[in-house]
Amino acid sequence: MNSKDIMRVGAVCKDWRAISVRFDRIKRKIPWLITTNVWKATCRLQSVVDNEDTFKVKFPWIPTSRTLFYNCSNGWLVTEPDHYNPMILLNPFSSVWLQLPAFKPMPNSFIYMSSAPTDPNCILLARDYINLLYVWRPGDESWTLQGMLEPFETIISFKGQFYTWNRWSSCLTIFQVLPLRLKKLVVPCPFNSHISRVHNVSLVESCGNILLVYIMKHALQPVAIFLFQLDLENKVWIKKDSLGDQTLFMAIPRNQVISVSASEVGCSANCIYLTGVWRSFPLGEFSVYNMNNHTIKSFSTFVGHNQRRYGCNRLWITPSLS
């Protein structure tokens, strides 16, 4: 059953509602593809398991003239702030939204959010034009300036610390905030960054390990993807040929990656779901890269989707009602 059918079944009686929860894709934490509309306060949610399972979500109460969300983290959408609008967080599943402080100094670019902003332990990181790091936590009325970070391409939160990676300097930075404490490690880059045709680099936590995902431009096919697992003790990246039962959902170029168990959510195992426009698949909403045979397949425009009405920003979002 798709989500609409499940909703109808759950409305019959208490017993049916209890059973329907087992099949609800929202409660099972299956990533959804979300497309935002830059001119109207709407977005579209699309299941990757059933292409007819789609929703249009309206949020006209958001106090901003620009509604295109540029990032997504822990089930929340994030706008980039500017001179007229502060950063806004929105949960499209619960319709809860938060407007972050607009007091100066204020960052201009979202970096990372460790958990949902309704969690009192949430840490949201942002930076300004000169790479100064700012921190916001639930209840804060202003941003806290922490200092300057080394340039990096990708960041994750892992076991209470933040990890950043820069392939050009082979620098892995591990840090905490409030106060800022950091450690820099040289972990040799698994590719020669100056000669390889790297399209995107992303860190992701998967099954208790840190993975590095390299997306390379390839002469014979649209892309080639390579995986490496961090061996922190020996300061080395170890090549990984398979994800096993895991599946990755990646938003390019946002460096947003979600790792899930394919058997639990019902998607293809040992695959990487990608958003972004590849030249060979200009009409595709998303592509699936198969790690077994290193092939890529594009999924075209979804049912009932008028491509001209929506912005080009497509992200993966894991449902959260908190």
The pLDDT of residue 282 is above 50: no
Q: What is the bridge-based pairing of β-strands 209-217 and 223-231? A: antiparallel
Query: What's the confidence (pLDDT) of residue 63?
Result: 65
Place 308 in a pLDDT band, splitting at 50, 70 and 90: very low
76: phi then psi, degrees, rounded to nearest 5:
-120, 140
User: Using one digit for the tens of pLDDT, what is the confidence trace for 148-179?
Assistant: 888 899 999 999 999 999 998 999 999 999 99
Of 150, 141, 81, 67, nearest in space to 110 by CA = 81
Distance CA 279, CA 302 (A): 19
pTM of the model: 0.86
Yes or no: say if 46 and 53 are a contact pair by the CB < 8 Å rule: yes
Q: Worst-scoring range by mean pLDDT, 58-62, 233-237, 259-263?
A: 58-62
Among 162, 59, 63, smallest CA distance to 115 is for 162
Given a contact cutoff of 8 angstroms between Cβ atoms, the answer to whether 156 and 256 are in contact is no
pLDDT at 279: 47
Q: How many whole angstroms separate alpha carbon 143 and alpha carbon 182?
A: 20
- Per-position b or e across 132-145, b if 16+ CB within 10 A of its CB: ebbbbbeeeeebee
And the tokens for 86? 């502060």
- Between vectors from CA 55 to CA 51 and to CA 59, what angle results, nearest 5°? 150
Q: Could you count the other beta carbons within 10 Å of the beta carbon of residue 283?
A: 10
Closest CA to 143 of 176, 186, 110, 174: 110
